[in-house]
Amino acid sequence: MDIKLSDRLAGQVAIVTGAGGGIGREHARLLAAHGAKVVVNDIGVRKSADAHSVVQEIKESGGEAVASTDSATWSGAEAIVNQALETYGRLDILVNNAMVGHYCDLWDEAESQYDATMDVNLKGYFALVRHAAVPMAEQGSGAIVNTSSASGYGHPAHSSYSTAKEGVVGLTRAVAAELGRFGVRCNAIRPQASGQSGADYAVTTAKWTKLISLGMHPRTVSVLPRMLADPELSPPRKISPLVVWLCTEAAANINGRTFEVWGNTICLLSEPEPLRTLTSDHDWDLDQLDALAPTVLAADLENRFTLLDHPDLRVFTRD
């Protein structure tokens, strides 16, 4: 991306966490290409992730950016927001994209692993929003995009990450409901992209490949093999147009919603609604539930996770 694309975001200031590489890098570059001044945040732990190199790319393309190497956690969130305010005088856009994740059987997960996952993927997102909320609410405008994941639908061997990323959706709805009155919008994406993380995924999760294919959401499972087989089907750059668009005035009516995005496909996801309702004019007891719930509430439900047709996966072992 070597040219300025538009002035849609001219005069606006954006923070993108986890922007030293991958999807976050593409977010930062596209925001800058549309006129935003960007705080490129990354602590540089991931392979080839470097906030300073992304800043250099943006500057060489005629944009404005500054590097931030504070941790996108509770301890570093205030410093990241303050850097934007001190450098550019305002804050209009926050893209929470930083992530930490690991794979293991849930019974083997250490508390330190769980805490590290929450600290970045959920607690860190909350902390960034917490500090960004003040300048955004005071100026009467702002756009926040939080990065959830299809893992939130349920991902074997990735339970703490799934927990955090589904928590991000709840956070997004709460922020939208609380800050919408001040002109601040908050939406979430569930992206899937190829690239280095996709290649690493196939290797790292090899032990659980079969379980993942049977246990994850069918739509997600169908996309992953195609992405891994053809990296150009869904490179990280294809995620960013939606994210940047959600930060523009064209999306002023969108708040508290969640989108799937991969390749050239964007899905607006439904919000939770009751499927069936069972009511009574007296307190329920178990006998009454036995009589009615199986037909009224659960007639077509099935436990698809027993895996009765896969006895090899039903043998409990520990390494």
List the catalytic residues. Answer: 161
Give the integer Cα–Cα distance in Å for 206 and 194.
17
Which tokens sit at 67? 């590097």
Give the integer Cα–Cα distance in Å for 11 and 92.
9
Residue 64's beta-bridge partner residues?
A: 37
> Measuring CA to CA, which residue among 121, 214, 132 is closest to residue 161?
121
- Using CA atoms, how far residue 134 sits from 82, 93, 99, 195, in Å, is 11, 13, 24, 36
Segment (H or E) for 147 = strand 142-147
| Residues belonging to the chain | 319
What is the DSSP pairing of strand 184-191 with strand 142-147? parallel
Residue 71 backbone dihedrals phi, psi, to 5 degrees: -70, 135
DSSP letter, residue 272? P
- Using CA atoms, how far residue 265 sits from 192, 220, 275, in Å, is 10, 13, 27
